[in-house]
A and B are shown apart, each in its own frame.
Chain A
Amino acid sequence: MIEVNDMKKKFGHKHVLKGVSFTAEKGEITCIIGINGVGKTTILNAIMNLTPLNGGQILIDGDTISKHSYEKITFIPDAIIMQPNMTITEAMQFMADFYDSWNQQRATELLDFFKLKESEKINNLSKGNRAKVNLLLGLALDVDYLLMDEPFSGIDIFSREQIADVFTSHLVEDRGVIITTHEINDIEHLIDKVVLLDEGKVLKQFNSEEVRETEGKSVVDVMREVYQP
């Protein structure tokens, strides 16, 4: 389980996160929702120790993050994080060289799934295909937790559908997923848990299935209630 306790972060004098707490379980998809600039990416960066916190604590299966954690948790940012002059094969080789958790079989499966050409240079890929390569490099790791930042941001509808299909496949099952987005429609039916953020605080967190069953509301309905009361 990923536990985020009282996370605080400020940039200069601006308090971006003012005590955010939530948990994300293995086998569940947790979606962090909020408008742009609310601190969604900062939360993921902080979980991966890519930005220091001004307060609070993050635990992954009860431990603070260390070098060993990167074999069981991975982050897929909204921009590709590989060398632009690498081919997809070289990028995969880089991952295989450094990660014991790299699963070559799954990587090959994902190449077929996304219909990507191995010999293609990352530089020459469309934005949609870059997002797919990013996903490929993250999903091909045998990790327990996946963090995804705006996976649908700025890409065409066909690529979005393909990426959304990943969430219903065996590629994600049994893993704990934290996803940030403000485009909820593509994956609303897949989300287990929702964390609604505003002005650096968690406004509401709920189990989407429970809300659907007990109150007959969709995630979007709850968002409307919270953000536009």
Chain B
Amino acid sequence: MNRFVKLLNFELSRFMKIYLVLMIVTFIVQITGMIVTANSYMAEANKMIYEEGMSQAQFIEQYGAMSFLGFARGLWFTGPIAVCAAALLFYIFMIWYRDWFGKNTFIYRLLMLPTARLNVYLAKAISIVLMVLGFVSVQLIFLPLENSVLKWLVPVDFRADMTVGQIVKWDYLSMLVPQTFTEFILYYGAGFMAVSVLFTAILFERSFKWKGILLGSVYAALSVVIMISPLLAMNFMDQYYLYPLETLGLEVVLGLLVTVMSLWMGNYLLTKKITV
């Protein structure tokens, strides 16, 4: 097996325990949330119909039928997703800093492996992307299960049923689950670019310490400026020269430029400037 794949496997296995815990917590919280939400909806329905004398039609007109989207807008559903997103964001930093700090400085070993140091960088970056994809995939498995719980707890007359296909087209879920291959490349490509910019900023800090924090911040800011420069320029001139599709094309080119620049700079820092 080539060393890059071994490194990737190693990086993934290092986070696996926390990763599995996050997935299990997400599942438990979302299922619990669905049960609580459905039960409280039905309790309200029973109260209004049997105690207040409201008809079923009036209740649905006033409160609306329960749909998955109503649940998906709530904290029970979005909370665990936000926690997973925050954990992964935190891990973007941890994946490097854990090798420098603590009882054992594993970065010595990583940098002394007989493989290009860029492989260490790429293994870490790709493991982050794979972890995001993993979370999204697992969430896709959870959706039909949660949808089934909804159907099980709420009678059909009180529900506005949705298929998983309809659910994933909604709001932020459509970002996590791209609808087309082009969207997939765009969203996850942008994600990889962001990870590479942050990694390079971290390596600036690891290479130049205090000065590196400044350099890393400038680097990240520069990357953002490059990405928004077409919009800034057009906004500044108050003239929109480009059609939306042309703007998108330009953004893709700039995104590629920023990613390649980050990889090159990351490799340069790892091979020429890094200090254990």
Residue of A84, A94, A99 touching B114 (CB-CB under 8 A) = A99
**Are A71 and B114 in contact, CB atoms less than 8 angstroms apart?**
yes
**Are A98 and B115 in contact, CB atoms less than 8 angstroms apart?**
yes
Beta-carbon contacts under 8 Å, B72-117 to A = 102-106, 108-109, 111-117
Question: If the complex has contacts A97-B6, A98-B3, are A81 and B106 also in contact, measured as CB distance less than 8 A?
Answer: yes
Residue of A51, A82, A83, A99 touching B276 (CB-CB under 8 A) = A51
Residues of B within 8 A of A49 (CB): 111, 271
Q: Does A79 contact B (CB under 8 A)?
A: yes
Q: Does B47 contact A (CB under 8 A)?
A: no
Residues of B within 8 A of A71 (CB): 114
**Are A67 and B106 in contact, CB atoms less than 8 angstroms apart?**
no
Beta-carbon contacts under 8 Å, A62-120 to B = 67-71, 74-75, 77, 79-84, 94, 97-100
**Are A82 and B114 in contact, CB atoms less than 8 angstroms apart?**
no
Beta-carbon contacts under 8 Å, B49-83 to A = none
Residues of A within 8 A of B276 (CB): 45, 50-51
Q: Does A154 contact B (CB under 8 A)?
A: no
Question: If the complex has contacts A52-B273, A71-B114, A84-B103, are A77 and B3 also in contact, measured as CB distance less than 8 A?
Answer: no
For the complex, give the distance between the alpha carbons of A123 and B106 in Å.
13
Residues of B within 8 A of A80 (CB): 104
Residues of B within 8 A of A82 (CB): 104, 106, 109
Q: Does A48 contact B (CB under 8 A)?
A: yes
Question: If the complex has contacts A45-B276, A98-B3, A98-B6, are A50 and B102 also in contact, measured as CB distance less than 8 A?
Answer: no
Query: What string of 1s and 0s marks CB contacts (under 8 Å) between A178-213 and chain B?
Result: 000000000000000000000000000000000000
Shortest beta-carbon distance from A123 to chain B in Å: 7
**Are B105 and A81 in contact, CB atoms less than 8 angstroms apart?**
yes
A45's closest neighbor in chain B, by CB?
Answer: B276
Residues of B within 8 A of A100 (CB): 114
Question: If the complex has contacts A50-B275, A51-B276, A98-B6, are A70 and B105 also in contact, measured as CB distance less than 8 A?
Answer: no
Residues of A within 8 A of B104 (CB): 79-84, 122
Residues of A within 8 A of B109 (CB): 81-82, 94
Q: How many residues of A contact B (CB 8 A)?
A: 27
Residues of B within 8 A of A68 (CB): 114
Most chain-A Cβ atoms within 10 A of its Cβ — which of B1, B106, B116, B273?
Answer: B106
For the complex, give the distance between the alpha carbons of A71 and B113 in Å.
8
B112's closest neighbor in chain A, by CB?
Answer: A70
Shortest beta-carbon distance from A78 to chain B in Å: 11
Query: What string of 1s and 0s marks CB contacts (under 8 Å) between B237-274 and chain A?
Result: 00000000000000000000000000000000001111
B10's closest neighbor in chain A, by CB?
Answer: A94
Residues of B within 8 A of A99 (CB): 113-114
Residue of B10, B105, B112, B275 touching A74 (CB-CB under 8 A) = B112
Residue of B105, B273, B274 touching A79 (CB-CB under 8 A) = B105
Residues of A within 8 A of B105 (CB): 77, 79, 81
Shortest beta-carbon distance from B29 to chain A in Å: 27
Shortest beta-carbon distance from B87 to chain A in Å: 19
Residues of B within 8 A of A69 (CB): 114
Residues of B within 8 A of A70 (CB): 112-114
Shortest beta-carbon distance from A182 to chain B in Å: 21
**Are A123 and B272 in contact, CB atoms less than 8 angstroms apart?**
no
Residues of B within 8 A of A50 (CB): 108, 111-112, 274-276
Residue of B102, B106, B112, B275 touching A52 (CB-CB under 8 A) = B275
Residues of A within 8 A of B112 (CB): 48, 50, 70, 74-75
Residues of A within 8 A of B10 (CB): 94
For the complex, give the distance between the alpha carbons of A99 and B10 in Å.
15
A48's closest neighbor in chain B, by CB?
Answer: B112
Residues of A within 8 A of B272 (CB): 52
Shortest beta-carbon distance from B138 to chain A in Å: 25
**Are B108 and A77 in contact, CB atoms less than 8 angstroms apart?**
yes
Residues of B within 8 A of A98 (CB): 3, 6, 113-115
Q: List 19 A-B contacts (CB under 8 A).
A: A48-B111, A50-B275, A51-B274, A52-B207, A52-B274, A52-B275, A71-B114, A74-B112, A77-B108, A79-B104, A81-B106, A81-B109, A83-B104, A94-B10, A97-B6, A98-B113, A98-B115, A99-B113, A122-B104
Give me the interface of A with B, judged by CB distance under 8 Å.
Answer: 45, 48-52, 67-71, 74-75, 77, 79-84, 94, 97-100, 122-123
9 A-B pairs with the lowest CB-CB distances in the bound complex, closest first: A81-B108, A70-B114, A50-B276, A51-B275, A81-B109, A71-B114, A84-B104, A80-B104, A98-B113
